[in-house]
Amino acid sequence: MPIFNALETPPPGESPRKPQHPLERAPQPPPGSGSPGGSRINLRIPTVRPNVTYVLIVINVAIFIARALSFDLDRLLLEWGANNPVLVLQQGEFYRLLSSMFLHASIYSSNGELALTNSLHLVFNMLALYSVGGEIERFFGHTRFALVYILGGLAGSVASAVLNSPAVNSIGASGAVFAILAAEVVFIYKHRRLFGATGRIRLQNTLILIGMNLLFGLLSNAGSALGRIDNWAHMGGALGGALLAWFITPWFNLRRHPENPADLLAEDTNPLKKRYGAVSVYFCALLLVLIGARLLATS
């Protein structure tokens, strides 16, 4: 359970312009604590171990290693699982929307020779998943995090299938990683007063990271018919992750810590069980987009 010293007191005499979330109101210290008005206090937030993040990393790495053992198996899995607009929308192979999220650039070149630099695709995605996903899962919990990763990643896959050229074969966990990055933006924004200056720096850095990756993708694909970076998957994943996180992100309320009265304990007032309706609407919206695109592609 981490302790944060980031709850800031508004300047004396300042009146809020809109109703404040409980985290935006600086609570007074308990009687006899000796704290003068309490401009900063300790806040304890219950967290979980990011087991889902670790499992996702193991699955992605295991698939990559299995493909590296055989060039024929590598080609077979790529042909079977890559996301392609024609195969998804016209042939109805919808499983590719999910399977492509667990495939990365091959360690082999097209003629069967080793191309070790291709492994950077996996390395960068897994590093981002480990650093950002691990932190988000600690606060979101296992199920909420898994929903953002999978459903956000599916939004990226749907965007890729609907908006890309028919010749594009897309693979990689980037869409899901962008969903997690966007979820972090939403989480920190909703609790910007809670995390104070540290949170504002993290929010700014995450937004810059998202912007730089999108810009790099656009520049790297300039003048290329097929492209090397699936920007539609990135943007779809970011949008899907942000929308989903806006409704299911933890929303903390404060109470005195039962064992340490000088500290505060954060409690989630937006449990997932209250938001299954929003998750269902999100999933149905993805299905409607997919069904509409299929009807257009097969008409």
Report angle CA 73, 75, 76 to the nearest 5 degrees.
60
Quick one: tokens of 113?
Answer: 């020779």
User: Which of 99, 157, 160, 174 does the annotation list as catalytic?
Assistant: 174
Question: Does the active-site annotation cover 280?
Answer: no
Quick one: tokens of 289?
Answer: 């987009």
| Element of type H or E holding 255 | strand 252-256
C-alpha distances out from residue 259 to 34, 44, 262, 264, 278, Å: 18, 11, 9, 10, 36
C-alpha distances out from residue 197 to 5, 69, 125, Å: 10, 48, 28
CA distance 237 to 153: 5
Contact criterion met (CB below 8 Å) for 140 and 200: no
Quick one: tokens of 240?
Answer: 């899907």
| Element of type H or E holding 266 | strand 264-268
Question: Does the active-site annotation cover 104?
Answer: no
User: Which of 104, 121, 191, 234 does the annotation list as catalytic?
Assistant: 234
Active site residues per annotation? 174, 234
